[in-house]
């Protein structure tokens, strides 16, 4: 019998699922289960996944194979499973080898950690689940060996038959699951909450409890408003919803008005007091929370009241993966042990009927709540989170927060009913803050811009760099969650960045083929603690391009950032460390003209760590390594000086000495326009800069005294390693500290080498001049600047995530202070932000954290300086 899972209304593709309960040799004691999944009929690959526990011996690699026979009922002796499954009578080999160089049953090695835990998750294109194929592994055994499989490369007598993998220590029969009717209808439910609680398809219609109300929504027409104080909710009693062994996705937009320390339920199917029979999704302790029967999952990101959020809760019955998404980005995920049989209890929206001392009611707005019986992809969820429905709007009513959508009415009577309902909404919302819609639309606008960026990234059209051609790689690649092969956005033009918190040797293979074993054309890059190598393979012939053991080029002994860039148009391969920019290039190799068509065809990146592509082996790096893919090659370096487009000349373009503000990210553009016209010397006090100079030179001046007070701020006492931070406005939570800062640099004073925590920033020189030194990274062993420039009075420089982030500012003038106005802002789509600056201490021996606190508010500072100046005169 076969377990099929329907894909959607239109799709006829089905999924085959088999399982193997793994037990210790000669014992019925189970150490876990493995799942085998084939999403379509041959030749689709089979995914092998699962978690095993308490395997002995641990902390070692174990051979992992399919053997010929399944054990009879009641027989636990793994030695009865026969030889490797080898229907084509070939030699033993690696899982990555072709079928003529491996057994069908050769699945390589798995790794057991110090606790005896094994995490398995990979795909294999040789084994099959369909019984009509010769490579079928149904009714065979999966076996774990005691020792490492030498993959047929060893010199032992049994290397070519078993890989010298040793005794059989655990095994299990591979069986197909029970069948589910393939005619089962897909579930598709949508509550749009357009002034009612009905299902869009008129099947799962809700009944409002305690007279719910509605508010205008930036997502559609209206959203339902549930008040926890009135215990308002929605019940869906008929028909019953059965999600037994099904994938599903629950999505909606929410706008919490308040957040309790308990449950704020969005949707639940939970009338039994036991959580074991409860499907529950909502907010708990200000974070998204999901209860999937025996399993729970809680997100990391903290929600705040009075904000719109797009949320999605996903269960994949194939991979047994639970996931929570926030604003289109996966926030947390977890693998569960089994797909639950579910419940047929009633659905509740805005509350849960589970017996508790406290309430479980949601307080706020919910819009576009949907349930579908499929695990939607991350790409689809991002699209849902950033696509705003287009509404047909008629003449708005007096209250700007209420909109009549003509698509909701088909005749005058219906229109009249809607207007009457709208009038009730106006009465209920008369005290509502008028700017809710405006704030919401700003949030949605930001997400819409993010979606447009994503769409541009996914374009395969080869073109010249865009306006933001200096943007570092920004598409995340997670080999431990996805695949060790990545499809690139642009053929022959790309940059791959790897940020390691733990030093791990790795290899990148940039290929024209999706198959890692295809050796038609590959550019290889490898790095470890001893050397860096760039080499190429053309039609199975491999030649070295560049190799070095330079200590500045090899793998750091600690955390570090590495990148590889390829450009068919300019015929180069570049390798660098630190920021992704040309000044950080360590190796550049030229590609011969005759290979241009080859390199232009590169479409795939294959990654391996410590010579391994086994996802089970890579899981341990999940929180230690972050990889990103960019569509642009590293051609040159962005200029530091910012000017307006009307100042930009052909000479500027040729010499790359300045950059127009329009070429920077929109966040930098906004900060630039915030401060570019600010005047600090005005009719009220036209001697401010001169007065600041006086306060610095006067032993009793406020500036002089404050600088002495701060002499030990960055480590050992050093008066010159000080400057003044005078803030303008309040900390709005959009930047590290207050976003606008007037900084004063006396002659000869400087900052430590410091990092700006991946923020956007604009620095405008008001008075004097400042020297800027840029560094590839914040590292005690790499303190040589990569670039140095002087920013003069009335000039502007910039920083953005990944560029110009690590610098040192210094006033080299012997007699004139430098005064700058600086503006900073976090990355808009980051859920959590780093609120500090890291810096190297004055003695150069340590990296510490700087909290960007204010020395004084600007208007208070100005008052003090004016008094000092007036007293002098």
End-to-end CA gap in the chain = 98
- Annotated binding residue 67: no
Residue 316: inside a domain: yes
What pTM value is reported for the model? 0.50
- Annotated binding residue 65: no
Running DSSP on this structure, what letter comes out for residue 303? P
Q: Is the pLDDT of residue 338 over 80?
A: no
More reliable by pLDDT, 809 or 216: 809
pLDDT band at 240 (very low <50, low <70, confident <90, very high): confident
Q: Which residues pair with 767 in a beta bridge?
A: 819
pLDDT band at 810 (very low <50, low <70, confident <90, very high): very high
- Residues 194-210: pLDDT tens digits? 889 988 777 899 999 98
Q: Which DSSP helix (H) or strand (E) runs through 421? A: helix 412-428
523: which 2 tokens? 């550019």
* Same domain, residue pair 153 and 271: no
Residue 467: inside a domain: no
Residues in the chain: 873
Q: Are strands 168-173 and 141-145 parallel, antiparallel or unpaired?
A: antiparallel
Residue 11: inside a domain: no
- Residues 660-677: pLDDT tens digits? 999 999 999 999 999 999
Q: Is the pLDDT of residue 422 over 80?
A: no
Q: Is the pLDDT of residue 453 over 50?
A: no
In 3D space, the residue among 295, 272, 267, 270 whose CA is nearest the CA of residue 283 turns out to be 267
* Same domain, residue pair 236 and 374: yes
Q: How large a percentage of the chain has pLDDT more than 90?
A: 52
* Same domain, residue pair 355 and 219: yes
* Same domain, residue pair 684 and 647: yes
* Same domain, residue pair 222 and 355: yes
User: Among the listed ranges 216-225, 663-672, 786-795, which one has the minimum average pLDDT value?
Assistant: 216-225
* Same domain, residue pair 555 and 704: no
* Same domain, residue pair 149 and 196: no
Collapsed DSSP state (helix, strand, coil) of residue 647: helix
Looking at residue 672, its pLDDT comes to 97
Q: Is the pLDDT of residue 40 over 90?
A: no
Residue 9: inside a domain: no
Q: Is the pLDDT of residue 254 over 90?
A: yes
* Same domain, residue pair 210 and 133: no
Q: Which residues pair with 162 in a beta bridge?
A: none
As a whole number, the mean pLDDT across the chain is 83
* Same domain, residue pair 218 and 349: yes
Choosing from 606, 630, 654, the residue where a domain stops is 630
Residue with tokens 């999505």: 251
* Same domain, residue pair 72 and 157: yes
Choosing from 561, 596, 630, the residue where a domain stops is 630
pLDDT band at 798 (very low <50, low <70, confident <90, very high): very high
Residue 587: inside a domain: yes
- 541-550, 696-705, 845-854, range with greatest mean pLDDT: 696-705
CB atoms within 10 A of CB 543: 8
Residue 96: inside a domain: yes
Given a contact cutoff of 8 angstroms between Cβ atoms, the answer to whether 799 and 671 are in contact is no
Question: Burial, 625: exposed, middle or buried (Cβ in 10 Å; 0-12, 13-18, 19+)?
Answer: buried
435's CB contacts (< 8 A; 6+ apart) are none
Supply the CATH number for residue 539's domain: 2.60.120.200
- 3-class secondary structure per residue, 602-625: CCEEEEEECCECCHHHHHHHCCCE
- Annotated binding residue 756: yes
> Taking residues 318-342, what's their average pLDDT?
84
Residue 227: inside a domain: yes
Residue with tokens 């080869």: 462
Looking at residue 864, its pLDDT comes to 97
571: which 2 tokens? 């015929």
* Same domain, residue pair 624 and 757: no
394 phi/psi in degrees, rounded to 5: -90, -175
* Same domain, residue pair 508 and 565: yes
Q: Quote the number of domains for the chain.
A: 4
Supply the CATH number for residue 836's domain: 2.60.120.10
Show the domain range for 655. Answer: 641-872
Choosing from 142, 176, 210, the residue where a domain stops is 176
Question: Rounded distance, CA 72 to CA 53, Å?
Answer: 24
345's CB contacts (< 8 A; 6+ apart) are 240, 269, 270, 271, 272, 277, 353
pLDDT band at 697 (very low <50, low <70, confident <90, very high): very high
Q: Which DSSP helix (H) or strand (E) runs through 706? A: helix 702-709
Residue 446: inside a domain: no
């Amino acid at each position: 019998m076969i377990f099929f899972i329907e894909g959607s209304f239109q799709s006829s593709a089905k999924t085959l699922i088999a399982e193997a309960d793994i037990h210790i040799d000669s014992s019925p004691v189970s150490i876990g289960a493995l799942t085998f999944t084939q999403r379509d009929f041959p030749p689709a690959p089979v995914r092998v996944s699962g978690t095993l526990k308490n395997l002995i011996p641990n902390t070692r690699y174990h051979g992992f194979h399919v053997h010929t026979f399944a054990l009879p009922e009641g027989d636990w002796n793994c030695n009865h499973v026969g030889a490797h499954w080898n229907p084509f009578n070939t030699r033993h080999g690696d899982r990555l080898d072709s079928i003529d160089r491996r057994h069908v049953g050769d699945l390589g090695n798995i790794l057991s950690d110090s606790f005896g835990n094994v995490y398995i998750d990979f795909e294999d294109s040789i084994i099959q689940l369909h019984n009509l194929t010769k490579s079928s592994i149904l009714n065979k055994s999966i076996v774990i060996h005691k020792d490492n499989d030498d993959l047929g490369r060893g010199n032992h007598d049994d290397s070519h038959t078993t890989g010298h993998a040793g005794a059989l220590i655990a095994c299990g029969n591979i069986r197909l699951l029970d069948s589910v009717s393939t005619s089962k209808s897909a579930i598709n439910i949508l509550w749009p909450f357009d002034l009612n609680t009905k299902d869009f398809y008129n099947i799962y219609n809700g009944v409002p409890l305690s007279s719910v109300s509605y508010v205008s929504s930036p997502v559609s027409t209206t959203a339902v408003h549930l008040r926890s104080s009135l215990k308002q909710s929605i019940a869906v009693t008929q028909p019953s919803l059965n999600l037994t062994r099904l994938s599903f996705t629950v999505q909606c937009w929410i706008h919490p008005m308040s957040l309790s320390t308990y449950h704020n339920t969005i949707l639940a199917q939970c009338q039994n007091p036991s959580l074991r029979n409860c499907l529950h999704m909502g907010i708990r302790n200000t974070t998204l929370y999901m209860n999937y029967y025996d399993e729970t999952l809680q997100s990391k990101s903290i929600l705040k009241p009075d904000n719109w959020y797009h949320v999605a809760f996903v269960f994949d019955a194939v991979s047994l993966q639970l996931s929570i998404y926030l604003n289109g980005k996966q926030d947390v995920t977890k693998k569960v042990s089994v797909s639950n049989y579910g419940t047929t209890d009633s659905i509740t929206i805005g509350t849960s009927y589970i017996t508790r001392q406290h309430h479980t009611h949601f307080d706020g707005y919910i819009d576009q709540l949907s349930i579908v019986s499929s695990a939607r992809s991350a790409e689809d969820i991002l699209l849902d989170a950033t696509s705003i429905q287009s509404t047909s709007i008629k003449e708005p009513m007096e209250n700007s927060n209420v909109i009549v959508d003509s698509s909701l009415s088909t005749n005058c009577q219906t229109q009249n009913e809607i207007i009457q309902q709208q009038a009730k909404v106006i009465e209920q919302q008369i005290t509502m803050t008028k700017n809710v819609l405006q704030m919401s639309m700003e949030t949605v606008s930001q997400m819409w811009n993010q979606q447009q960026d994503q769409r541009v990234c996914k374009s395969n059209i080869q073109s010249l760099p865009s306006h933001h051609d200096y943007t570092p790689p920004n598409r995340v690649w997670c080999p431990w969650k996805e695949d060790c092969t990545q499809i690139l956005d642009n053929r022959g033009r790309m940059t791959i960045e790897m940020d390691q918190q733990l030093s791990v040797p790795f290899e990148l293979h940039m290929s024209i083929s999706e198959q890692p074993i295809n050796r038609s054309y590959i550019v290889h890059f490898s790095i470890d603690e001893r050397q860096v190598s760039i080499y190429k393979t053309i039609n199975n012939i491999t030649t070295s391009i560049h190799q070095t053991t330079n200590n500045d080029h090899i793998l750091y002994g600690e955390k570090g950032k590495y990148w590889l860039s390829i450009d068919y148009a300019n015929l180069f391969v570049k390798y660098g460390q630190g920021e992704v920019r040309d000044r950080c290039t360590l190796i550049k190799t030229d590609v011969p003209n005759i290979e241009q068509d080859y390199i232009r065809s590169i479409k795939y990146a294959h990654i391996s760590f410590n010579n391994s592509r086994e996802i089970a082996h890579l899981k341990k790096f999940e929180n230690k390594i972050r990889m990103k893919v960019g569509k642009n090659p590293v051609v040159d370096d962005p200029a530091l000086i910012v000017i307006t487009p009307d100042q930009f000349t052909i000479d500027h373009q040729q010499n790359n000495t300045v950059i127009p503000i329009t070429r920077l990210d929109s966040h930098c553009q906004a900060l630039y326009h915030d401060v570019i016209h600010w005047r600090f010397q005005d009719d009220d006090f036209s001697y401010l800069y001169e007065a600041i100079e006086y306060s610095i030179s006067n032993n009793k001046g406020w500036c002089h005294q404050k600088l002495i007070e701060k002499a030990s701020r960055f480590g050992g006492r050093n008066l010159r390693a000080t400057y003044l931070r005078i803030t303008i406005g309040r900390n709005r939570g959009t930047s590290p500290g207050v976003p606008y800062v007037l900084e004063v640099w006396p002659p000869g004073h400087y900052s430590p080498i410091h990092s700006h925590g991946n923020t956007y920033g604009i620095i405008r020189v008001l008075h004097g001049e400042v020297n800027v030194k840029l560094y590839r990274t914040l590292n005690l062993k790499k303190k040589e600047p990569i670039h140095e420039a002087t920013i003069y009075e009335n000039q502007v420089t910039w920083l953005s995530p990944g560029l110009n982030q690590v610098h040192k500012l210094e006033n080299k003038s012997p007699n004139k202070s430098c005064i700058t106005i600086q503006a900073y802002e976090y990355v808009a789509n980051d859920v959590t932000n780093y609120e500090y600056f890291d810096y190297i201490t004055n003695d150069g021996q340590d990296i510490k954290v700087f909290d960007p606190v204010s020395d004084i508010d600007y208007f208070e500072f100005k008052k003090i300086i004016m008094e000092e100046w007036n007293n002098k005169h």
